Amino acid sequence: MRNKVIAGNWKMNKDVFETADLISGLKSAIKQSKAEVIICPPFTSLVVAQQLLKGSDIKLGAQDVSVHDDGAYTGEISVKMLKSAGCQYVIVGHSERRQYFHETNELINQKAKKVLASGMKPIICVGETLEEREKGIMENVITVQVKGVLVGLSEENLKNAIIAYEPVWAIGTGKNATPQQAEEVHQLIRKLVGQLYSWNVAEGVIIQYGGSVKPENAKELLSQPDIDGALVGGACLKPDSFSAIIAAS
């Protein structure tokens, strides 16, 4: 049985004071969970989050990372910096990074390798746009993305990585992929991993769903056999809604 993993991507929300309030609320709301719970605050809140999460089962993650170790890269954050701030996970290739910052599969692959080499675990994102789905090329898009972001990753790497399927058209739009639509793509991703590696590896890899996950739809989504958790956006910014999604897992 694969464990459920629920990650909250705070995106560009919460200053250090608001971070303290939210973590306090989360620690009160999330008493016990069989699921692994991760929060990914902004870079400026990582150190305070690390301090506040001591003694908690909640894990800390970052929203992005540089492919560079150090040097003249203004505004970038290295794996060493993230690790020293207490991060155990790093999101790479989020659809907003692809859309707004034109990140490619090759760059995302480099970031995933950098995260794995550091001992942290990447949450590697893939997903199609509404235009791509309406054109009927979703399967091709996902196939190219999965193959591109996993180039050069070993079977052992896959044991320490999470894949997140995020249909771009369902992020922050209010539109929802049905559980059946989400499960269909999760099955495709698992099949692709099986073809690239082995079925044993495919059976073990954690594949999260991300795309307007809310307390109202979490239980049905997370009950699908190939959906192993959720990468949550807006609903992770309130203790009650995030804890309800965790409880649904």
Residues marked as catalytic: 94, 166
- Would you say the C-alpha torsion 236, 242, 248, 249 has a positive or negative sign? positive
Place of tokens 């509404």: 130
Alpha-carbon distance values, 130 to 94, 183, 235 (Å): 16, 17, 22
- Would you say the C-alpha torsion 48, 43, 19, 35 has a positive or negative sign? negative
Beta strands in 31-188 (DSSP E): 36-40, 59-62, 89-92, 121-126, 162-165
Q: Which two tokens stand for residue 36?
A: 């692994």
Contacts of 18 (CB under 8 A, 6+ apart): none
Place of tokens 């250090």: 16
Q: Which two tokens stand for residue 92?
A: 């790479």
Q: By three-state DSSP, how is residue 38 classified?
A: strand
